[in-house]
Amino acid sequence: MRLATFNILHGMALPAGTVAVAELRSAVSTLDADVLGIQEVDRGQPRSSEVDQTAVAAAAMGAADWRFAPALTGTPGDDWCRVLDGMPTGRSYGIGLLSRYPVRSWHVLRMRGAPGRSPIVVPPMDGGRLPRVLLLPDEPRALLAAEVDSPHGMITIATTHLSFTPGWNVWQLRRVVRALRALPGPRILLGDLNLPGPVPRWLTGWRGLVGAPTYPAHEPKVQIDHVLADGALPPVRAARAVTGIISDHRALIVDF
Protein backbone atom coordinates (compact mmCIF):
# COMPACT_ATOMS: atom_id res chain seq x y z
CA MET A 1 0.00 0.00 0.00
CA ARG A 2 1.33 3.43 -0.95
CA LEU A 3 0.16 6.71 0.56
CA ALA A 4 1.13 10.16 -0.68
CA THR A 5 0.49 13.80 0.12
CA PHE A 6 1.06 16.65 -2.33
CA ASN A 7 0.40 20.38 -2.22
CA ILE A 8 -0.18 20.82 -5.97
CA LEU A 9 -0.19 24.67 -6.09
CA HIS A 10 -3.32 24.43 -8.32
CA GLY A 11 -1.20 22.53 -10.85
CA MET A 12 1.26 25.37 -11.52
CA ALA A 13 4.66 24.50 -12.98
CA LEU A 14 7.56 26.64 -11.72
CA PRO A 15 9.42 28.75 -12.66
CA ALA A 16 7.37 29.08 -15.87
CA GLY A 17 4.16 29.83 -13.96
CA THR A 18 2.06 27.76 -16.38
CA VAL A 19 -0.89 25.52 -15.52
CA ALA A 20 -1.74 22.58 -17.79
CA VAL A 21 -4.12 19.69 -17.18
CA ALA A 22 -1.68 17.27 -18.83
CA GLU A 23 1.06 18.19 -16.34
CA LEU A 24 -1.27 17.62 -13.39
CA ARG A 25 -2.20 14.20 -14.77
CA SER A 26 1.45 13.29 -15.25
CA ALA A 27 2.48 14.47 -11.77
CA VAL A 28 -0.27 12.42 -10.09
CA SER A 29 0.22 9.26 -12.15
CA THR A 30 3.97 9.35 -11.43
CA LEU A 31 3.28 9.15 -7.69
CA ASP A 32 1.37 5.87 -8.24
CA ALA A 33 -0.35 6.27 -4.86
CA ASP A 34 -3.15 4.04 -3.60
CA VAL A 35 -4.39 6.86 -1.36
CA LEU A 36 -3.48 10.48 -2.13
CA GLY A 37 -4.15 13.70 -0.24
CA ILE A 38 -3.87 16.89 -2.29
CA GLN A 39 -3.94 20.51 -1.17
CA GLU A 40 -4.33 23.90 -2.90
CA VAL A 41 -6.80 22.33 -5.33
CA ASP A 42 -8.97 24.26 -7.80
CA ARG A 43 -12.45 23.52 -9.08
CA GLY A 44 -13.89 25.63 -11.87
CA GLN A 45 -11.15 28.29 -11.68
CA PRO A 46 -10.21 30.19 -14.89
CA ARG A 47 -6.52 30.04 -13.91
CA SER A 48 -6.63 26.21 -14.20
CA SER A 49 -8.84 25.81 -17.29
CA GLU A 50 -12.00 25.63 -15.14
CA VAL A 51 -11.54 21.90 -14.54
CA ASP A 52 -12.26 19.91 -11.40
CA GLN A 53 -8.65 19.15 -10.47
CA THR A 54 -9.63 16.44 -7.98
CA ALA A 55 -11.53 14.61 -10.71
CA VAL A 56 -8.53 14.97 -13.04
CA ALA A 57 -6.23 13.53 -10.37
CA ALA A 58 -8.68 10.70 -9.60
CA ALA A 59 -8.74 9.63 -13.24
CA ALA A 60 -4.94 9.84 -13.47
CA MET A 61 -4.39 7.47 -10.53
CA GLY A 62 -7.38 5.20 -11.13
CA ALA A 63 -9.16 6.10 -7.89
CA ALA A 64 -12.22 4.05 -7.00
CA ASP A 65 -13.50 6.76 -4.66
CA TRP A 66 -12.61 10.40 -4.13
CA ARG A 67 -13.88 13.68 -2.71
CA PHE A 68 -13.13 17.38 -2.92
CA ALA A 69 -13.70 19.57 0.14
CA PRO A 70 -13.85 23.28 -0.72
CA ALA A 71 -12.52 25.65 1.92
CA LEU A 72 -13.64 28.76 0.07
CA THR A 73 -15.84 29.69 -2.85
CA GLY A 74 -14.62 32.32 -5.30
CA THR A 75 -11.01 32.99 -6.25
CA PRO A 76 -8.12 32.68 -3.77
CA GLY A 77 -6.33 35.97 -3.27
CA ASP A 78 -9.23 37.90 -4.78
CA ASP A 79 -12.98 37.77 -4.16
CA TRP A 80 -13.95 34.79 -2.01
CA CYS A 81 -16.05 33.74 0.96
CA ARG A 82 -15.92 30.94 3.47
CA VAL A 83 -17.76 27.72 2.64
CA LEU A 84 -20.35 26.50 5.14
CA ASP A 85 -21.73 22.97 5.31
CA GLY A 86 -24.54 22.50 2.81
CA MET A 87 -23.65 25.66 0.93
CA PRO A 88 -23.62 25.27 -2.89
CA THR A 89 -20.23 26.02 -4.46
CA GLY A 90 -19.20 26.71 -8.01
CA ARG A 91 -15.75 28.20 -8.51
CA SER A 92 -13.92 26.97 -5.42
CA TYR A 93 -10.63 25.98 -3.81
CA GLY A 94 -9.68 23.45 -1.16
CA ILE A 95 -8.37 19.93 -0.63
CA GLY A 96 -8.97 16.49 -2.09
CA LEU A 97 -8.64 12.88 -0.96
CA LEU A 98 -8.48 10.03 -3.47
CA SER A 99 -8.44 6.26 -2.91
CA ARG A 100 -8.06 3.17 -5.07
CA TYR A 101 -9.70 1.28 -2.21
CA PRO A 102 -13.38 1.48 -1.23
CA VAL A 103 -14.34 4.23 1.22
CA ARG A 104 -17.04 3.36 3.76
CA SER A 105 -17.73 6.88 4.94
CA TRP A 106 -16.53 10.47 4.53
CA HIS A 107 -16.16 13.24 7.11
CA VAL A 108 -15.47 16.99 6.75
CA LEU A 109 -14.39 19.51 9.39
CA ARG A 110 -14.30 23.20 8.47
CA MET A 111 -12.08 25.71 10.29
CA ARG A 112 -12.01 29.49 10.07
CA GLY A 113 -8.89 31.39 9.07
CA ALA A 114 -6.83 33.56 11.39
CA PRO A 115 -8.01 37.15 11.85
CA GLY A 116 -6.08 39.99 10.24
CA ARG A 117 -3.05 39.59 7.99
CA SER A 118 0.07 37.52 8.58
CA PRO A 119 3.55 37.50 7.02
CA ILE A 120 4.37 34.74 4.55
CA VAL A 121 7.77 34.18 2.92
CA VAL A 122 7.62 33.64 -0.84
CA PRO A 123 10.72 32.01 -2.38
CA PRO A 124 12.51 33.90 -5.17
CA MET A 125 11.25 33.34 -8.71
CA ASP A 126 12.27 34.39 -12.21
CA GLY A 127 15.96 34.49 -11.36
CA GLY A 128 15.58 36.50 -8.16
CA ARG A 129 17.96 35.83 -5.29
CA LEU A 130 16.02 37.04 -2.28
CA PRO A 131 12.70 35.79 -0.92
CA ARG A 132 9.79 38.19 -0.54
CA VAL A 133 7.72 38.71 2.60
CA LEU A 134 4.04 39.40 1.95
CA LEU A 135 1.27 40.33 4.38
CA LEU A 136 -1.70 38.20 3.40
CA PRO A 137 -5.15 37.53 4.86
CA ASP A 138 -5.57 33.95 6.01
CA GLU A 139 -8.08 31.64 4.35
CA PRO A 140 -10.51 29.18 5.90
CA ARG A 141 -9.31 25.58 6.09
CA ALA A 142 -10.83 22.11 5.98
CA LEU A 143 -10.14 18.55 7.09
CA LEU A 144 -11.33 15.71 4.83
CA ALA A 145 -11.30 12.19 6.29
CA ALA A 146 -12.23 8.79 4.87
CA GLU A 147 -12.74 5.40 6.50
CA VAL A 148 -10.84 3.31 3.95
CA ASP A 149 -11.23 -0.45 3.45
CA SER A 150 -7.53 -1.09 2.75
CA PRO A 151 -5.64 -4.40 2.25
CA HIS A 152 -4.50 -3.99 5.87
CA GLY A 153 -8.02 -3.53 7.20
CA MET A 154 -10.04 -0.43 7.99
CA ILE A 155 -7.92 2.74 8.32
CA THR A 156 -9.06 6.31 8.79
CA ILE A 157 -7.04 8.44 6.38
CA ALA A 158 -7.37 12.22 6.28
CA THR A 159 -5.87 15.25 4.60
CA THR A 160 -5.70 18.93 5.51
CA HIS A 161 -3.93 22.19 4.73
CA LEU A 162 -3.39 24.30 7.83
CA SER A 163 -2.91 28.04 8.22
CA PHE A 164 0.45 29.71 7.63
CA THR A 165 -0.24 31.93 10.67
CA PRO A 166 1.96 30.88 13.63
CA GLY A 167 -0.11 29.73 16.58
CA TRP A 168 -3.31 29.55 14.58
CA ASN A 169 -2.04 26.44 12.79
CA VAL A 170 -1.32 24.89 16.20
CA TRP A 171 -4.93 25.51 17.25
CA GLN A 172 -6.14 23.99 13.96
CA LEU A 173 -3.93 20.91 14.33
CA ARG A 174 -5.33 20.28 17.79
CA ARG A 175 -8.87 20.53 16.38
CA VAL A 176 -7.92 18.10 13.62
CA VAL A 177 -6.55 15.56 16.09
CA ARG A 178 -9.66 15.79 18.28
CA ALA A 179 -11.87 15.21 15.24
CA LEU A 180 -9.81 12.25 14.00
CA ARG A 181 -9.71 10.57 17.40
CA ALA A 182 -13.51 10.37 17.23
CA LEU A 183 -13.14 8.16 14.13
CA PRO A 184 -12.01 4.51 14.03
CA GLY A 185 -8.29 3.76 14.31
CA PRO A 186 -5.68 3.35 13.16
CA ARG A 187 -5.45 6.86 11.74
CA ILE A 188 -3.20 8.61 9.24
CA LEU A 189 -3.04 12.34 8.57
CA LEU A 190 -1.63 13.55 5.23
CA GLY A 191 -1.08 17.19 4.48
CA ASP A 192 0.59 20.55 4.37
CA LEU A 193 0.54 21.48 8.04
CA ASN A 194 2.65 24.65 7.71
CA LEU A 195 4.54 23.49 10.80
CA PRO A 196 8.23 22.61 10.57
CA GLY A 197 10.12 19.39 11.16
CA PRO A 198 9.24 17.58 14.40
CA VAL A 199 6.72 20.17 15.66
CA PRO A 200 3.58 18.27 14.51
CA ARG A 201 4.85 15.13 16.28
CA TRP A 202 5.50 17.06 19.46
CA LEU A 203 2.07 18.65 19.40
CA THR A 204 0.08 15.51 18.62
CA GLY A 205 2.06 12.61 20.03
CA TRP A 206 1.53 10.88 16.67
CA ARG A 207 4.36 9.19 14.76
CA GLY A 208 5.95 10.87 11.77
CA LEU A 209 6.27 8.31 8.98
CA VAL A 210 8.65 10.30 6.80
CA GLY A 211 11.23 12.95 7.59
CA ALA A 212 12.44 14.95 4.59
CA PRO A 213 12.45 18.63 3.59
CA THR A 214 9.61 19.50 1.21
CA TYR A 215 9.71 23.28 0.67
CA PRO A 216 10.62 25.02 -1.56
CA ALA A 217 10.62 22.21 -4.12
CA HIS A 218 13.66 23.30 -6.13
CA GLU A 219 15.91 23.46 -3.05
CA PRO A 220 13.98 22.27 0.01
CA LYS A 221 15.11 23.58 3.37
CA VAL A 222 12.18 22.74 5.66
CA GLN A 223 9.57 20.03 6.03
CA ILE A 224 6.08 21.49 6.28
CA ASP A 225 4.30 18.56 4.59
CA HIS A 226 3.78 15.54 6.80
CA VAL A 227 2.44 12.01 7.15
CA LEU A 228 1.43 11.35 10.77
CA ALA A 229 0.13 8.07 12.19
CA ASP A 230 -1.79 7.04 15.29
CA GLY A 231 -2.36 3.39 16.15
CA ALA A 232 -1.09 0.03 14.91
CA LEU A 233 -0.11 -0.03 11.24
CA PRO A 234 2.00 -2.37 9.10
CA PRO A 235 5.74 -1.62 8.97
CA VAL A 236 6.90 1.20 6.70
CA ARG A 237 8.99 -0.24 3.88
CA ALA A 238 10.13 3.06 2.34
CA ALA A 239 9.42 6.78 2.73
CA ARG A 240 10.72 9.72 0.74
CA ALA A 241 10.11 13.17 -0.72
CA VAL A 242 9.87 13.48 -4.51
CA THR A 243 9.89 16.46 -6.83
CA GLY A 244 7.99 16.76 -10.06
CA ILE A 245 6.94 19.06 -12.85
CA ILE A 246 4.42 21.07 -10.84
CA SER A 247 4.19 22.90 -7.48
CA ASP A 248 6.51 24.67 -5.09
CA HIS A 249 6.29 21.68 -2.71
CA ARG A 250 7.74 18.20 -2.94
CA ALA A 251 5.34 15.31 -2.49
CA LEU A 252 5.79 12.73 0.27
CA ILE A 253 5.40 9.00 -0.41
CA VAL A 254 5.12 6.23 2.21
CA ASP A 255 5.14 2.55 1.24
CA PHE A 256 3.86 -0.10 3.65
pLDDT tops 70 at residue 200:
yes
219-250 pLDDT, tens digit each: 999 999 999 999 999 999 999 999 989 999 99
Q: What is the 3-state secondary structure (H, E, C) of 48-99?
A: HCCCEHHHHHHHHHCCCEEEEEEEEEECCCCCEEECCCCCCCCCEEEEEEEE
pLDDT tops 90 at residue 254:
yes
pLDDT tops 60 at residue 126:
no
What pLDDT score does 84 carry? 73
Are the beta carbons of 50 and 70 closer than 8 angstroms? Answer: no
Distance (Å, whole) CA 57 – CA 95: 12
pLDDT range class, residue 88, cuts 50, 70, 90: low
pLDDT range class, residue 130, cuts 50, 70, 90: low
37-48 pLDDT, tens digit each: 999 999 999 999
**Average pLDDT of the residues in 128-140:** 75
What is the domain range of residue 117?
A: 2-255
Q: Specify the 3-state DSSP secondary structure of 178.
A: helix
pLDDT tops 80 at residue 134:
no
Distance (Å, whole) CA 42 – CA 89: 12
CATH number where 114 lies: 3.60.10.10
The total number of structural domains that make up the chain: 1
What is the residue-averaged pLDDT of the chain?
93
Q: Which helix (H) or strand (E) holds 154?
A: strand 153-161
pTM listed for this prediction: 0.93
pLDDT range class, residue 122, cuts 50, 70, 90: low
What pLDDT score does 82 carry? 84
